[in-house]
């Protein structure tokens, strides 16, 4: 499946249970920062603009944590999303069960709208599943890789990560780009090789947090690749 980017635009929707590290992963994606303290997230929206080989790409990232109790709002985010990042944590089985339910909901909603690449095939929704906190000790984990893959299927883009020490995060971001048909230059490892300019349209944004609420002024990162 190759994303049909209208005017090179794509929306990444991030979903998962509370306290699984969604916002920490996004901080790594955007600013390469990590904060130990947990801060509950309602709904955050961020836009990144890339200028790659003369073409402009707009990537919107929606952290839809606040929609957990609002099924209708979550469904709207799913319907308007192009690429999905689902996050759970290896020390919380219920967070994995929630990801499985979200994945089923996304597939049911999106496959009706997407066209398959070949006749007779089902449309594939660009989705990456991330098991966070791989830095935990074996005694703290309640899920094994084999158990997860039995539920998700071997063809699922699945990564065990740590937002704290960056384990496998680059692979997650690259998979999001590839599955969504985006240029590989949109992955963070490429950001460090180019000049970056930030345009913050809010004055209260700290260095690594806070993303702005959807519908309000936005934090826009412009990245120019030569």
Residue 117: its pLDDT value, please?
A: 56
Identify the burial level of 33 via C-beta atoms within 10 angstroms of its C-beta, where 0-12 means exposed, 13-18 middle and 19 or more buried: middle
* Spatial contact of 21 and 89, defined as CB atoms under 8 Å apart: yes
Domain ranges, residue 38:
6-225
Give the pLDDT confidence of 188-219 residue by residue, as tens digits: 666 544 434 443 433 333 333 333 333 333 45
* Spatial contact of 10 and 83, defined as CB atoms under 8 Å apart: yes
Structural domain includes residue 150? yes
**Tokens at 148, concatenated:** 């997860």
- Proportion of the chain above pLDDT 70, given as a percent: 68
Structural domain includes residue 215? yes
Residue of 83, 89, 33 whose CA lies nearest to 186: 83
CA 13/CA 106 separation, integer angstroms: 11
Q: What is the CA radius of gyration of the chain?
A: 17
Residue 121: its pLDDT value, please?
A: 54
Structural domain includes residue 168? yes
Counting the structural domains of the chain, the total is 1
Structural domain includes residue 1? no
Q: Is the pLDDT of residue 170 over 50?
A: yes
Give the pLDDT confidence of 141-163 residue by residue, as tens digits: 999 999 999 999 988 999 999 98
- Provide CB contacts within 8 A for 51, sequence distance 6+: 57, 222, 223, 224, 225
Q: What is the mean pLDDT of residues 69-84?
A: 90
Structural domain includes residue 83? yes
Query: Which pTM does this prediction carry?
Result: 0.77
Structural domain includes residue 123? yes
- Proportion of the chain above pLDDT 90, given as a percent: 38
Least confident of 107-111, 180-184, 222-226: 222-226
Structural domain includes residue 58? yes
* Spatial contact of 105 and 56, defined as CB atoms under 8 Å apart: no
**Confidence label for 6 from pLDDT (cuts 50, 70 and 90):** low
Q: What is the mean pLDDT of residues 49-61?
A: 82
Average pLDDT of the chain, as a whole number: 76
Residue 36: its pLDDT value, please?
A: 45
Residue 123: its pLDDT value, please?
A: 64
Burial of 87-124, coded b for 16+ CB within 10 Å and e otherwise, reads bbbbbbeebbebbeebbeebbebbeeebeeeeeeeeeb
**Confidence label for 4 from pLDDT (cuts 50, 70 and 90):** very low
**Confidence label for 7 from pLDDT (cuts 50, 70 and 90):** low
Q: What's the CATH number where 181 sits?
A: 3.40.50.300
Residue 94 φ/ψ, nearest 5 degrees? -65, -30
Residue 48: its pLDDT value, please?
A: 80
Residue 58: its pLDDT value, please?
A: 85
CA 9/CA 174 separation, integer angstroms: 17
């Amino acid at each position: 499946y190759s994303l049909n980017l209208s005017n090179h635009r794509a929306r990444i929707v991030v979903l998962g249970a509370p306290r699984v590290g969604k916002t920490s992963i996004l901080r790594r994606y955007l600013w390469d920062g990590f904060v130990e303290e947990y801060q509950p997230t309602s709904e955050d929206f961020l836009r990144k603009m890339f200028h790659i080989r003369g073409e402009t790409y707009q990537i919107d990232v929606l952290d839809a944590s606040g929609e957990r109790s609002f099924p209708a709002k979550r469904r709207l985010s799913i319907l308007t999303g192009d690429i999905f990042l689902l996050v759970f944590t290896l020390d919380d089985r219920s967070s994995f069960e929630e990801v499985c339910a979200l994945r089923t909901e996304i597939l049911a909603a999106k496959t009706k709208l997407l066209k398959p690449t070949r006749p007779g095939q089902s449309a594939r929704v660009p989705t990456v599943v991330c098991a966070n906190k791989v830095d935990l000790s074996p005694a703290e984990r309640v899920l094994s890789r084999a158990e997860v893959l039995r539920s998700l299927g071997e063809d699922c883009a699945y990564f065990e990560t740590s937002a704290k020490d960056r384990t496998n995060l680059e692979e997650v971001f690259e998979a999001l780009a590839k599955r969504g048909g985006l240029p590989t230059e949109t992955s963070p490892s490429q950001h460090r090789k180019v000049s970056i300019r930030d345009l913050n349209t809010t004055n209260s944004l700290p260095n690594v947090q806070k993303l702005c609420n959807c519908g309000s002024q936005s934090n826009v990162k412009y990245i120019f690749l030569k």
